[in-house]
């Protein structure tokens, strides 16, 4: 069993160790697999939770990720980072489980007067994103707002703006055109902005 509370390698150490870890995995070293799981399970679970919003399915996706990694270790390109490789597999495993229900987003889009002016007018937020992200309470609120997005828009925003997958990859995985993806992403960002707006205008989240 791995030591869950063990000291974690810093990022540069992990990069240096990636090659050695992969070599040991390829030779069937069980402790290497335990190290892989110990280092990467938690961040991968965050990714699959974000996509699936279902704890049990998110855990299943992580489990399948490591099994797929174990089976596919010979295909691993040594110039890649292990974390990037696992991230790609985890996104795939999560998407395999995802069932997207069509939901409307119109109520969260901006409104306009007949002459094309915004109605109501927009006002700026009281703090920069950098300042807001300093507080865990605010980060949690942002994540809650993302979870409130209608499903097809939430998924597109997570895959493009958060997981930062290329547009053609996301379009293919969601089986939509690139133009449709672009429209959905823009609407998703606008809808998230609408959800965040009442919280970010004032100082209610300020420490």
Partner 1 sequence: MTCIELIAFLDAYVDDELDANTRGEFDLHLLVCPSCRAYRDTYKETIDLARGAAEREEDLAHDAPPELIEAVLTSKSRHSKS
Q: Which one, of 71, 74, 66, lies nearest residue 34 by Cα?
A: 66
4 touches partner 1 (CB under 8 A): yes
CA torsion 182-110-148-97 (nearest 10°) is -20
Tokens describing residue 37: 């799981």
Tokens describing residue 45: 């679970």
Residue of the chain from 106, 123, 175, 207 that contacts partner 1 (CB under 8 A): 123
190 touches partner 1 (CB under 8 A): yes
Residue of the chain from 84, 136, 198, 203 that contacts partner 1 (CB under 8 A): 136
- Preceding omega of 120 cis (within 30 degrees of 0): yes
Quick count: other Cβ atoms within 10 Å of Cβ 53?
Answer: 16
Task: With H, G, I as helix, E, B as strand and everything else as coil, classify residue 112.
Answer: strand
Closest distance of CB 201 from partner 1, Å: 9
Residues between 35 and 54 that touch partner 1 (CB under 8 A): 37-38, 41-43, 45-47, 50
- Residue 118 — φ and ψ, nearest 5°? -65, 145
Count of residues that interact with partner 1, criterion CB under 8 A: 61
User: Which residues contribute to the site for partner 1 (CB under 8 A)?
Assistant: 1-2, 4-5, 8, 28, 33-34, 37-38, 41-43, 45-47, 50, 59, 62-63, 66-67, 70-71, 110, 112, 115-118, 121-125, 128-130, 132-133, 136, 138-140, 142-143, 146, 157, 161-162, 164, 182, 185-186, 189-190, 192-193, 196-197, 200
């Amino acid at each position: 069993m791995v030591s869950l509370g063990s000291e974690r390698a810093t990022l540069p150490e992990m990069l240096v160790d990636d090659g050695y870890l992969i070599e040991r995995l390829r030779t069937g070293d069980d402790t290497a697999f335990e190290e892989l799981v110990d280092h990467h399970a938690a961040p991968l679970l965050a990714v699959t939770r974000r996509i699936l919003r279902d704890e049990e399915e998110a855990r299943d996706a992580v489990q399948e990720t490591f099994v797929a990694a174990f089976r596919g270790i010979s295909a691993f390109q040594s110039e890649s980072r292990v974390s990037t490789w696992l991230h790609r597999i985890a996104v795939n495993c999560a998407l395999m489980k995802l069932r997207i229900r069509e939901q409307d987003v119109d109520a969260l889009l901006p409104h306009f007067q007949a002459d094309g002016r915004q109605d109501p007018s927009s006002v700026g937020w009281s703090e920069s994103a950098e300042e807001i992200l300093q507080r865990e309470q605010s980060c949690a609120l942002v994540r809650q707002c993302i979870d409130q997005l209608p499903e097809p828009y939430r998924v597109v925003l997570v895959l493009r703006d958060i997981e930062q997958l290329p547009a053609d990859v996301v379009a293919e995985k969601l089986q939509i055109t690139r133009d449709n993806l672009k429209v959905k992403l823009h609407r998703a960002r606008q809808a998230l902005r609408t959800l965040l707006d009442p919280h970010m205008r004032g100082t209610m989240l300020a420490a």
